[in-house]
């Protein structure tokens, strides 16, 4: 079945550092890929998405490129801020069947001033 | 924000009692989902619905049932709550493909079973 693997956390960075959170997936067909962010005590917010190979999703300075050849969708940001501290989830949505999201286990990011 | 309301937002209940969580949407979306979130597991699918009275199981459906009698409401019932069902429960909604290919989440329901 479908699965998503993302790097273990927590990831601790200083403000203005470069961020990469790795995400790889296993799926049949042509899934869509997503990054969601969760701030403490809140629900999940869509951060960005990509629906086909080589698409780049971007939002709020974050970006990720759908790489079918390496089955990856790594999240990057050039300069993190304290306000980016949150838990980040990589997820995929299959193109057939139940159309539900399959999530990775989440990566906690802590940004220090 | 997507029009999703979960109720109750917080609940403490005793082992062995039935509990129902409600998800209400105002977006007329076809798909509705219930997930649970636990440390180290991300979010796991409990049940989902692809239309009124059309529901199916996810990966962690044991001990849970669902009903969808109207497009806007999706109910999750814990038939006899156990401590292992202490979790945060998220409802989600979606339409389908293309630009609508996004799943939106509610704010969560914190359930504690004592």
Please give the backbone phi and psi of residue A32, each rounded to the nearest 5 degrees, phi first.
-95, 150
Read off the pLDDT of residues B14-61 as tens digits, 9 standing for 90 and up: 999 999 999 999 999 999 999 999 987 889 999 999 999 999 999 999
User: pLDDT per residue over B55-113, tens digit each?
Assistant: 999 999 999 999 999 999 999 999 999 999 999 999 999 876 555 678 899 999 999 99
- Residues of chain A above pLDDT 70, percent: 99
Other CB atoms within a 10 A radius of the CB of residue A90 amount to 30
8 Å CB contact between A29 and A19: no
> Counting runs of H as helices and runs of E as strands, what totals does chain A give?
0, 12
Judge: B105–A104 Cβ closer than 8 Å, yes or no: no
Q: What does the alpha-carbon distance between residue B47 and residue A91 come to, in Å, rounded to a whole number? A: 17
Contact residues, chain B to chain A, C-beta under 8 Å: 31, 33, 40-45, 48, 50, 56, 58, 90, 92, 94, 96-98, 101-108
């Amino acid at each position: 079945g479908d699965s998503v693997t993302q790097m273990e956390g927590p990831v601790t960075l200083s403000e203005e550092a470069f961020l990469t959170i790795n995400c790889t997936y296993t799926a049949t067909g042509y899934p869509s890929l997503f990054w969601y962010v969760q701030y403490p005590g809140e629900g999940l917010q869509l951060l960005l998405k990509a629906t086909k190979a080589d698409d780049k999703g971007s939002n709020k300075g974050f970006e990720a490129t759908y790489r079918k050849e390496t089955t990856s969708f790594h999240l990057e940001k050039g300069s993190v801020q304290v306000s980016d501290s949150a838990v980040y989830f990589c997820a995929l949505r299959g193109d057939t069947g139940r159309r539900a999201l399959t999530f990775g286990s989440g990566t906690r990011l802590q940004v220090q001033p | 924000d997507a029009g999703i309301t979960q109720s109750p937002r917080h609940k403490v209940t005793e082992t062995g009692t039935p509990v129902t969580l409600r998800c209400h949407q105002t977006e007329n979306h076809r798909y509705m989902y219930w997930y649970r979130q636990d440390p180290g597991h991300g979010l796991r699918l409990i049940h989902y619905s692809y239309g009124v009275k059309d529901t199916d199981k996810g990966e962690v459906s044991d001990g849970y049932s669902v009903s969808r009698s109207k497009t806007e409401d999706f109910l999750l019932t814990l038939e006899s709550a156990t401590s292992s069902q202490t979790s945060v429960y998220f409802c989600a909604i979606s339409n389908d493909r293309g630009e609508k290919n996004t799943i939106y989440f509610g704010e969560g329901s914190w359930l504690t079973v004592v």
